[in-house]
Chains A and B, each alone.
Chain A
């Protein structure tokens, strides 16, 4: 499924739900088979459309978690308690169901091998999803670009893709840092609390090393991190952001 986004109309396609994986109590990954999928870049998203029996429709955007090299499309969705679409995707969808989607969408919050690095990724909560696609693409494309990830989660039980990241880190593919903002186990060796300027200084490469920076998470996280990196001297033009509003649905 490697390939760039194709120009032209984005048509709705019907994908097969192949498998569902519980990532955390509130987060589920949906493995999709979609023969007409045109391919995507790491970091892009799709629109998902649900139709009720009376014809009512709802659409939402979700980041793609899989790499362009992967055979199947992976979406990872967090259930928002007051959401309209995410509770259906997380709680009601079953293997064998079908899901309408169109994409890929967005072309700025993307990374491909040729963009180089070093690659500094900062994710908050389910904002980790497009960063997972980037790291997977980096590994599967055989890139040697240095990569560092700061992942902010409420607690270890809310960490998504923890095993995959640990495997990349133990293979020397990823410099993996965590900060836990609400709960941490005794003897926790990672960072604690919300990201602040001191943590950013510890975690980032110096501005002179010109890292390519990708920040994704809730608005408060992105404002704090992107603003902090600019204050540390990083070029605002090298900082790509993607924000999840509280009403992502």
Chain B
């Protein structure tokens, strides 16, 4: 039983509460959070790589990557800093498309990024139509402060898993904590089980 804060009424979400995970509130803004300066990598220097515990690494240039089949997922996103944003529309390449034909024994993935950010996700959470490399948001190219030119999009996990400025996926046999996970954030990060921090 939680302590009742006398006189606190709060706001109820303006949507079906079943769409809002515990401890979250709905916002129409798109707050920005990141641990360092925003990197700006020009397209000619950009590439995307799948490496690590795979039969052979593969890599795409910006031109090759933007020629891959694109999808436009409409998803709800949930940030560990408590905001949720509903019905966001992205465009991007499904991880299933990128993983086609890749042979691997790996169970986990470390997404790596410009600026040195990393995050860990089980491989099965990135496949099966549940994750994308997003290049667009709301019909426009993804802004750099929101992770452009490309960010990972894994909407069913807290949004720090949707790594900004992503440059590739390192497949690993064992789960290896990424940047925020190293500082005490949860290794899996399911918003519906409120897995914000280690031990949750």
Contacts and interface: CB of A to CB of B under 8 A. Distances in A.
Interface in A45-63: 47, 49-53, 55-61
A163 B115 CA distance: 37
Interface in A35-49: 47, 49
A241 interface: yes
Given A100-B3, A247-B29, A249-B25, A239 B36 contact: yes
Interface in B1-48: 2-12, 22-23, 25, 27, 29, 31-39
A156 interface: no
Contacts of A84: 10-11, 25
Contacts of B200: 9-10
B101 interface: no
Contacts of A237: 36, 116
Interface string B184-200: 10000000000011111
Contacts of B82: 59-61, 249
A123 B10 CA distance: 30
Interface string B164-200: 0000000000000001101110000000000011111
Contacts of A243: 31-34
Contacts of A14: 3
A248 B5 CA distance: 20
Contacts of B4: 51-53
A97 to B, nearest CB: 7
Contact of A246 (B29, B145, B196): B29
Given A51-B3, A237-B116, A10 B199 contact: yes
B81 interface: yes
Contact of A52 (B5, B32, B196): B5
Given A51-B3, A60-B82, A100-B2, A227 B29 contact: no
B83 interface: yes
A166 interface: no
Contact of A226 (B38, B182, B183): B38
A108 interface: yes
A92 interface: yes
B91 to A, nearest CB: 23
B7 A88 contact: yes
A38 B133 CA distance: 39
B3 to A, nearest CB: 5
Contacts of B196: 47
Contacts of A12: 2
Given A219-B145, A245-B31, A105 B197 contact: yes
A108 B9 CA distance: 34
Contacts of A9: 197-200
Nearest to A55: B2
Contact of A108 (B12, B23, B35): B35
Given A9-B198, A108-B183, A92 B29 contact: no
Nearest to A51: B2
B33 A245 contact: yes
B145 A223 contact: yes
A106 B29 contact: no
Interface in B135-158: 145
Nearest to B31: A245
B126 to A, nearest CB: 25
B8 A8 contact: no
Contacts of A56: 10, 12
Nearest to A234: B37
A162 interface: no
A61 B197 CA distance: 13
Q: Chain A CB within 10 Å — which of B5, B31, B199, B200 has the most?
A: B5
9 contacts: A51-B3, A58-B23, A59-B23, A61-B82, A109-B35, A230-B37, A237-B36, A240-B36, A245-B33
Given A59-B23, A219-B31, A229-B37, 4 more contacts: A92-B7, A108-B183, A237-B116, A248-B31
Q: Which 10 pairs across A and B sit closest by C-beta, in order of nearness? A: A245-B31, A9-B199, A107-B183, A226-B37, A51-B2, A50-B5, A219-B32, A247-B27, A59-B23, A50-B8
